[in-house]
C-alpha cells in the first residue's frame, strides 16, 4: 500500500448510496473479466443527482472529455453516510475501476467500508471535519497515511484523519484473502 496518495478531489455530499455509485442496470458486467471490469469505471457515479456532484458549486462531470472509463480524480471527498443503501460489493469496484484510490468521508455505511477493505479496492478514510463544504472538486490533494493528514495543495489547508487502525494490514495486503494468505490463515493457491 502506498503511504502517500496524491491527486484531484471529486466532492460529493451526504448519503451517497450504492445505487448512485453504480446503478443496478450495470451489475450485469462481470468484474473478473477485464473488458467488463472497465465498464464499472465508465458508469461509476452516473446515478448521482446533478445537485450532488461537485458540491458546493453544482454538478461537475465525474469523467473527463478524454476518457470515458477513467475519471481525472483520485480522491473522493464525501459527507456523512457514504456508501449507504444496498450491500453490493460492486460499488467500491466501480470507484476503483474509475481510478479512485481513496475516499475521505465523515462516516460510512459499514458494509461499503468493509467491502472496500475486504476487497482491497479503496482506502476508506474518516474525518471529523466536514470537508465536503470546504474542499472543491478539482483541488489537488495529498493524503499521508503515516501522519494521518490530508493536505489541500491548492489552498494550503491541512486536516487530521482518523488512523486506519486494525484494517491497515488488510488494505496493505490488497484485501482480506491476500492478508489471510500472508499471515498463514490460508494456503496459497
Q: For 64-123, how does the pLDDT look when each residue is reduced to its tens digit (9 = 90+)?
A: 777 889 999 999 999 999 999 987 889 999 999 999 999 999 999 999 999 999 999 999
Query: pLDDT tens digits, residue range 45-61?
Result: 999 887 765 544 456 77
User: In this predicted structure, what is the pLDDT of residue 95?
Assistant: 97
User: In this predicted structure, what is the pLDDT of residue 55?
Assistant: 46
**Whole-angstrom Cα distance, residue 178 to residue 53?**
34
**Whole-angstrom Cα distance, residue 70 to residue 108?**
24
CATH superfamily of 4-182: Aconitase, domain 4 (3.20.19.10)
The residues spanned by each domain of the chain are: 4-182
| DSSP code for 17 | B
Q: Could you tell me the three cell numbers for 5? A: 496518495
Give the Cα-Cα-Cα angle 80, 101, 60 (nearest 5 degrees): 65
User: In this predicted structure, what is the pLDDT of residue 68?
Assistant: 86
**Whole-angstrom Cα distance, residue 57 to residue 160?**
24
User: In this predicted structure, what is the pLDDT of residue 59?
Assistant: 61
User: In this predicted structure, what is the pLDDT of residue 63?
Assistant: 84
Provide the pLDDT confidence category of residue 184 given band limits of 50, 70 and 90: confident
The mean of the pLDDT values for the chain is: 92
Amino acid at each position: 500500500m502506498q503511504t502517500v496518495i496524491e491527486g484531484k478531489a471529486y466532492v460529493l455530499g451526504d448519503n451517497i448510496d450504492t445505487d448512485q455509485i453504480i446503478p443496478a442496470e450495470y451489475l450485469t458486467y462481470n468484474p473478473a473479466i477485464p473488458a467488463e471490469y472497465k465498464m464499472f469505471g465508465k458508469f461509476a457515479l452516473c446515478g448521482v443527482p446533478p445537485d450532488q456532484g461537485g458540491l458546493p458549486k453544482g454538478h461537475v462531470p465525474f469523467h473527463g472529455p478524454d476518457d470515458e472509463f477513467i475519471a481525472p480524480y483520485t480522491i473522493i471527498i464525501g459527507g456523512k453516510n457514504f456508501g449507504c443503501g444496498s450491500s453490493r460489493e460492486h460499488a467500491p469496484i466501480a470507484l476503483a475501476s474509475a481510478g479512485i484510490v481513496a475516499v475521505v468521508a465523515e462516516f460510512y455505511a459499514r458494509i461499503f467500508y468493509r467491502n472496500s477493505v475486504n476487497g482491497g479496492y479503496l482506502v476508506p478514510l474518516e474525518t471529523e471535519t466536514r470537508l465536503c463544504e470546504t474542499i472543491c472538486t478539482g483541488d489537488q490533494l495529498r493524503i499521508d497515511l503515516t501522519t494521518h493528514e490530508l493536505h489541500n495543495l491548492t489552498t494550503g489547508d491541512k486536516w487530521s484523519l482518523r488512523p486506519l487502525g486494525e484494517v491497515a494490514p488488510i488494505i496493505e495486503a490488497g484485501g482480506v484473502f491476500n492478508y489471510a494468505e500472508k499471515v498463514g490463515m490460508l494456503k496459497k493457491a
